[in-house]
């Protein structure tokens, strides 16, 4: 990975290929602290940490200074009782733990606290993280229609033509074909048209400290967003940076840890810029590098069509389908093993018989499901978004753009 320059130097200085560090203790769930007299309470609260953390005395003074350094509008909101994280007890504990783990100086700790103090609780974000109500039928045809549609295909053709050389260079370096990169950027942001309107700092703080407790994996997901918030703070990403309600940002909608680990300065200008729609080279290179890092195999298809022995599957107590779906989308079977369970994989004889495959079921509401067999490259796409529906949308959008591009060729 090329060295990159953020808008300001990170507090921790990674090498050429920075990696996400092991997170500290997971903090418990909470809601924004609305009590009055917050200044006095948290001044004492920060000093209390001195018993457990040697640097906490510095944090206490940093807290006082941080409140005074907030922009005037944010200061007024704090004084009026609007929820911010400048005075949130778990946010203070989070900064204390982060400072101890990273061995930050008092000045660096104060900087973290000052930035986090600018974060606002976003009331409408936590409900957006809740899964669909139980019993809601998945519908691949409906999901597909949101992305494989004329506007997105036409925009993809234009994007591909304008960035042909960069897409080819990314394929040469990382082995990822243009249609996959084009599919990702089209599904994620419509090639930069829809990059999100939430401040990433606000979204990450809200989900790090106020993740909805009713989520079935609340503790796990909250820990994830705390790791992302840590990366945002440690690398001093701009407080005004915009993105999705989940904290993803830029043309490829990278989370902070993905920016730190996988983003590349692909145009070689010394700056990392994932937001520039007119110069998307960094976004293109970063997506391709991400897939290479997760094991993309150059030249391997993403999936194969299948023919299923439905009569066999419908026999009483038949376990073939259950057996094949048990590993979910993790490639676990050879084509021979799939055939032994009633699934004939339609692949050329030249394909590698050692390839591991996964049966992918795409539900269609009340209609019969659709099935394909995913390769290891299909699985790699799901590392970007853990959904087989998402992966198929990326693949089919890329294919549709490639087809339209050929039709419009002079």
Say how many CA atoms lie within 13 Å of 373 toward its Cβ: 25
Task: Take residue 260 and report the two structure tokens written for it.
Answer: 């730190």
Burial zone of 117 (CB within 10 Å; 0-12 exposed, 13-18 middle, 19+ buried) = buried
Taking the CA atoms of 295, 300, 301 and 306 in sequence, report the sign of the dihedral they define.
negative
Distance between CA 252 and CA 229 in Å, rounded?
A: 18
Q: Within a 10 A sphere around the Cβ of 123, how many other Cβ atoms?
A: 11
The runs of H, that is alpha helices, within 294-332 are: 310-313, 320-325
Q: Within a 10 A sphere around the Cβ of 374, how many other Cβ atoms?
A: 26
Task: Take residue 319 and report the two structure tokens written for it.
Answer: 């376990």
Task: Take residue 8 and report the two structure tokens written for it.
Answer: 């300001």
Q: List Cβ neighbours of 324 (8 Å cut-off, separation of 6 or more).
A: 333, 338, 341, 343, 359
Distance between CA 356 and CA 126 in Å, rounded?
A: 38
Which element (helix H / strand E) includes 136?
A: none
Distance between CA 358 and CA 219 in Å, rounded?
A: 29
**CA neighbor of 10 nearest in space, from 232, 205, 183, 217:** 232
Distance between CA 111 and CA 80 in Å, rounded?
A: 24
Percentages helix, strand, coil for the chain (3-state, rounded to 5) are 50, 10, 45
What single-letter DSSP state applies at residue 390? H
Q: Where are the beta strands (DSSP E) in 120-265?
A: 198-199, 242-243
Quick check: is 90 catalytic?
A: no
Which of 90, 114, 179, 188 is an active site residue? Answer: 188
Distance between CA 299 and CA 169 in Å, rounded?
A: 16
List residues with catalytic annotation: 188
């Amino acid at each position: 990975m090329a060295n990159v320059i953020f808008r300001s130097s990170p507090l921790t200085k990674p090498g050429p290929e920075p990696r996400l560090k092991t997170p500290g203790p997971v903090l418990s769930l909470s809601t924004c602290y609305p009590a009055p007299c917050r200044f006095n309470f948290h001044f004492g609260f920060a000093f209390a940490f001195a018993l457990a953390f040697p640097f906490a005395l510095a944090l206490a003074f940093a807290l006082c200074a941080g409140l005074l350094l907030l922009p005037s509008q944010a200061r007024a909101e704090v004084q009026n009782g609007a929820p911010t994280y400048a005075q949130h007890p778990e946010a203070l504990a989070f900064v204390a733990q982060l400072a101890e783990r990273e061995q930050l100086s008092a000045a660096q700790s104060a900087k973290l606290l000052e930035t986090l103090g600018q974060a606002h609780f976003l009331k409408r974000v936590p409900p957006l993280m809740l899964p669909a109500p139980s019993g809601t039928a998945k519908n691949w045809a409906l999901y597909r229609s949101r992305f494989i549609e004329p506007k997105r295909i036409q925009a993809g053709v234009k994007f591909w033509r304008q960035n042909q050389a960069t897409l080819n260079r990314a394929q040469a370096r990382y082995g990822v074909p243009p249609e996959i990169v084009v599919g990702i950027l089209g599904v994620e942001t419509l090639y930069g048209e829809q990059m999100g309107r939430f401040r990433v700092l606000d979204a990450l703080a809200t989900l790090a400290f106020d993740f909805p407790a009713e989520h079935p994996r609340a503790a796990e997901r909250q820990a994830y967003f705390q790791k992302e918030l840590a990366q945002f703070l440690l690398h001093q990403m701009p407080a005004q940076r915009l993105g999705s309600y989940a904290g993803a940002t830029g043309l490829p909608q990278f989370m902070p840890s993905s920016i730190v680990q996988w983003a590349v300065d692909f145009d070689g200008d010394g700056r990392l810029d994932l937001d520039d729609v007119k110069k998307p080279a960094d976004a293109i290179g970063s997506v391709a590098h991400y897939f290479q890092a997760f094991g993309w195999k150059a030249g391997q298809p993403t999936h194969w069509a299948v023919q299923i022995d439905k009569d066999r599957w419908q026999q009483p107590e038949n376990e073939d389908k259950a057996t094949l779906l048990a590993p979910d989308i993790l490639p676990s079977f050879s084509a021979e093993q799939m055939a032994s369970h009633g699934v004939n994989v339609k692949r050329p004889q030249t394909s590698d018989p050692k390839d591991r495959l996964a049966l992918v079921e795409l539900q269609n509401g009340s209609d019969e499901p659709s099935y394909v067999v995913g390769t290891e490259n299909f699985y790699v796409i799901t590392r970007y978004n853990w959904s087989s529906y998402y992966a198929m949308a990326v693949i089919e959008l890329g294919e549709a753009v490639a087809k339209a591009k050929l039709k419009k060729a002079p």
